[in-house]
A and B are shown apart, each in its own frame.
Chain A
């Protein structure tokens, strides 16, 4: 049995039964706490409040500055995404949209689309077909608003010398004509394990698996301890050591709260199977960009899906299957 490191969040009611749930701020304030904790909470709120108050009541601050201060004030009381009611989710994404507009003058769409019933996403990767073109890596970076300064990538394409499949010896930063003679290529990214080892180690419950199988991160709840990165046996998670840099004209405006909305310094992020696309019925950007058709995405619970045909008809394998992580990402060959 897994260690119960965040009992409060493990015991929360599933979202569909939670219509009478109190707001995030109320939950924060209603929990039992001793005098010392209460003093700490109040002192923190006082400091934050005074700063915002001075802006919002200032006669020199402009209207947009005041609005931004008001939005920042609301953000302080934002709860964990899983604890939010429908209305709170709606308000939160609207606030994020407005905040982006105030900062940049551009409009973005932040979605809070819920998982679809009877859908469990899975992925298959054809090792015979991948030729190392890296179109997937580039499409992913653009789609998911990843930090350009550190050249963050969710996907790595490993160039293996034929005759072995040793990731220690593989090259994942090649730049020469591909496919190179005597080599084969293999991509790794987050495998969205059905038994994700990154989830129970999070001390604040900022990462979890959605009912449609996507392992997500609440960037506003992540404290940046990077336990999840240490727990992941596949090196799937990335950390923002600095404020992520994305040129304004390259920002993808089609966003999801749990997906590609802009991150901040000190939080962990990862592949979300392009949740902003997949929940609309679209393929992830890497699948769409792959010129060789080596990437297949679909619904594991639909017996007519391509991914189910592959599982039933091809010889497949998963990485480090013996760990019991149950990745929903299979490799196969022609």
Chain B
């Protein structure tokens, strides 16, 4: 009789709580069970993108569709052909004769000189386009295709979302920054700086 009573008590105790959905279920099981693409979830991140210019990413057939923020609006004096109206060899000769008049701030500090030169990425004939190692042209907005030739691990992570920066929100459309938005292609090393602090930090606090 006592045992029966105890059993009844245990039953009542375990039934009395209403379970929150997902509570108690192993988190990874819950995630694995969600296999249906649900990318809209009734929300859009479009209003947080400030109408950023974008192009559809090319060359990732296995990935869900995503977009890359355009590079050309960010490049000063684009299109390059406005100044580069003569073949490159002539301009190089002019620089040698008259001294360097343009791109004076540009030095290539990316890879050893025997690996990389200007024309590794820039076309000699078509200045508005980039080139691959095989000589194929690449639109400036798809510059990630040029970077990805050597940085194959990074571009895989970038396309998946483990590398790089997404713009706007978590809700679709997925718009990510181009490589060159964060990494200066001519000088990609990231420099050190002081961490962000609140504005009213005093000198004492800084030097402490």
Which A residues form the contact surface with B (CB < 8 A)?
Answer: 1, 4, 7, 10-14, 116-120, 122, 124, 126, 129, 131-135, 137-138, 141, 148, 151, 157, 174-180, 194-195, 208-209, 211, 213, 277-278, 280-283, 290-293, 296-311, 313-314, 326, 328, 332, 334
- Given A134-B196, A194-B22, A282-B169, residue A302 in contact with residue B17 (CB < 8 A): no
Residues from chain A with Cβ under 8 Å of B192 in the complex: 131, 177-180
**Bound complex: CA A34 to CA B187 (Å):** 76
**Bound complex: CA A180 to CA B171 (Å):** 35
**Bound complex: CA A306 to CA B45 (Å):** 15
**Bound complex: CA A297 to CA B168 (Å):** 12
Closest 7 CB pairs of A and B: A306-B161, A281-B171, A281-B43, A301-B34, A134-B195, A293-B165, A282-B169
B91 contacts chain A at the CB level, 8 A cutoff: no
* Chain B interface size range: 35 or more
**Bound complex: CA A180 to CA B157 (Å):** 26
- Given A306-B160, A310-B161, A313-B162, residue A282 in contact with residue B48 (CB < 8 A): yes
Residues from chain A with Cβ under 8 Å of B23 in the complex: 194-195, 209
B4 contacts chain A at the CB level, 8 A cutoff: no
B6 contacts chain A at the CB level, 8 A cutoff: no
Whether A132 lies near B195 (C-beta < 8 A) is: yes
Residues from chain A with Cβ under 8 Å of B14 in the complex: 1
B115 contacts chain A at the CB level, 8 A cutoff: no
B38 contacts chain A at the CB level, 8 A cutoff: yes
**Bound complex: CA A131 to CA B193 (Å):** 10
Whether A14 lies near B18 (C-beta < 8 A) is: yes
Q: Using a CB-CB cutoff of 8 Å, which residues 141-200 of chain B contact chain A?
A: 153-154, 157, 160-166, 168-171, 174, 177, 182, 190, 192-198, 200
What are 25 A-B contacts with C-beta separation under 8 Å? A4-B17, A7-B16, A11-B16, A126-B162, A138-B197, A138-B198, A175-B205, A175-B206, A176-B194, A178-B195, A179-B192, A281-B170, A282-B48, A282-B169, A283-B166, A283-B168, A283-B169, A296-B166, A301-B31, A301-B34, A302-B38, A302-B39, A305-B161, A307-B161, A308-B31
B98 contacts chain A at the CB level, 8 A cutoff: no
B41 contacts chain A at the CB level, 8 A cutoff: yes
- Given A281-B48, A304-B37, residue A174 in contact with residue B195 (CB < 8 A): yes
- Given A175-B194, A176-B194, A306-B161, residue A281 in contact with residue B169 (CB < 8 A): yes
- Main SS of the interface on chain B? loop
Expressed in whole angstroms, the minimum distance between the Cβ of A215 and any Cβ of chain B is 12
Which B residues form the contact surface with A (CB < 8 A)?
Answer: 14, 16-18, 20-24, 26-27, 30-31, 34-39, 41-45, 47-48, 64, 153-154, 157, 160-166, 168-171, 174, 177, 182, 190, 192-198, 200, 205-206, 208
**Bound complex: CA A314 to CA B33 (Å):** 19
Contacts A10-B18, A175-B195, A296-B166 given; 19 further ones with Cβ under 8 A?
A11-B17, A126-B162, A138-B197, A174-B195, A176-B194, A281-B43, A282-B48, A282-B170, A283-B166, A293-B166, A296-B162, A299-B41, A301-B38, A302-B34, A303-B35, A303-B38, A304-B64, A305-B170, A314-B162
Residues from chain B with Cβ under 8 Å of A13 in the complex: 18
Whether A293 lies near B31 (C-beta < 8 A) is: no
**Bound complex: CA A137 to CA B30 (Å):** 31
Whether A282 lies near B17 (C-beta < 8 A) is: no
**Bound complex: CA A137 to CA B37 (Å):** 33
**Bound complex: CA A7 to CA B12 (Å):** 13
